[in-house]
Structure formats: C-alpha cells, structure tokens
C-alpha cells in the first residue's frame, strides 16, 4: 500500500519539482529548491484493511533503510506507513513515520503526511534531529519523489523547499 500511496507522486514529481527549481532562479521568487538526500527503504508486512468512516486504513511496516546525501546521512531503524483510503480509492491520506540515527550518532524521527490520489500526492516531510548542524532541514518543508523498486524496497529523492527572502 505504501507504494500505491506514492507511486503516482513519483510518476508526476518532475512536473512539481521542475517549476520550483526554475522558479527559484528568477528574480523576486520567494522560494528555492535544494536536493537534500536520497534514501532506500526496506518494507515489511502489510495489514488487512481496517474499516474507518468512509474508507479503510492500511498499514505497512518499514523495517530498515539508509539515508545519504549532502545534508544528512543516516540509518533508518524502523517505522510504519498508514494510508487512509477514501471514495473508492480516489482520495488517499498517507501518514509515514520512521526513526533511526545519523552517521554522527544522533537520533532522528521522520514524519510525512499529505493528501492525494494514486496518480499524485502532495506531502510534507519533517525531520526532527535537534542539532543545529541539521537546522536547514527545518527551514522549509521537504518534498519527496518516491519510487517502488521491488515489493520490499522503495527509493526516495528528497528536496527542501525554502524561503529565499
């Protein structure tokens, strides 16, 4: 289900990211875009659908992963993805939580939430590290393009959208 939530977003992410990247180069644009990390995640079990008002919730475990890039390098130790699926699977509300430790030994937590469909999703990712070395990760929001590599592996490309003014 994790892949269903985000595969569409990954398919159309170039449509979202390209205008932001080119817009930041123009004078007077208040937003910039910076590549911050890539990640590879290993996925585990998927729950049976849990009935909720107007739809179902599906959960999928994140068993481990690695984060690597110019802003942060880390190991993901675990987590879970929760997808609320509504209106005959036309509206999805994903929530993804993961945790681990940075390459310099600091604990971190990742939280992602948003809304979308199977074709595209807009999500906001926050990373809590609590160290000034990683403060630029909190100076905007992180937008990610996520691709399903296999039944048990997901790759992520993450970009920080930030104020330039």
Q: What is the DSSP string of the chain?
A: -HHHHHHHHHHHHHHHHHHHHHHHHSTT--EEEEEEEEEEEEEEEEPPPEEETTEEEEEEEEEEEEEESSS--EEEEEEEEEEEEETTTTEEEEEEEEEEEETTS-EEEEEEEEEE-SS-EEEEEEEE---GGGGGGGSEEEEEEEEEEETTEEEEEEEEEEE--
| pLDDT at residue number 23 | 44
| pLDDT at residue number 12 | 44
| pLDDT at residue number 27 | 56
| pLDDT at residue number 121 | 65
Domain ranges of the chain: 2-163
Q: Give per-residue pLDDT as tens, 52-77.
A: 999 999 899 999 999 999 999 999 99
CATH of region 2-163, choose from 3.60.21.10, 2.40.160.20, 2.60.40.3080, 2.60.40.10 = 2.40.160.20
- Residues belonging to the chain: 165
| pLDDT at residue number 62 | 96
Give 46-51's long-range contacts (Cβ < 8 A, gap of 24+): 46/1, 49/85
* pLDDT tier, 145 (very low <50, low <70, confident <90, very high otherwise): confident
| pLDDT at residue number 117 | 63
| pLDDT at residue number 118 | 56
Q: Give per-residue pLDDT as tens, 96-131.
A: 899 999 999 999 999 988 777 655 567 788 899 877
Q: Which residues pair with 126 in a beta bridge?
A: 111
Percent of the chain with pLDDT over 90: 38
Model pTM score: 0.74
């Amino acid at each position: 289900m994790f892949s269903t939530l985000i595969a569409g977003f990954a398919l159309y992410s170039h449509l979202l990211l390209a205008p932001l990247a080119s817009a930041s180069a123009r004078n007077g644009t208040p937003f910039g875009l910076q590549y911050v990390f890539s990640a590879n995640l290993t996925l585990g079990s998927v729950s049976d659908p849990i009935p909720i008002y107007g739809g179902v919730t599906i959960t999928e475990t994140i068993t481990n992963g690695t984060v690597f890039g110019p802003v942060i390098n880390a190991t993901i130790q675990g987590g879970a993805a929760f997808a609320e699926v509504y209106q005959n699977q036309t509206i999805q509300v994903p929530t993804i939580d993961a945790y681990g430790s940075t390459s310099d030994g600091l604990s971190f937590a990742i939280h992602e939430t948003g809304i979308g469909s199977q074709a595209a999703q807009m999500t906001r990712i926050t990373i809590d590290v609590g160290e000034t070395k990683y403060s630029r990760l909190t100076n905007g929001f992180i937008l990610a393009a996520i691709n399903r590599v296999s039944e048990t592996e997901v790759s992520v490309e993450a970009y920080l959208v930030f104020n330039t003014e």
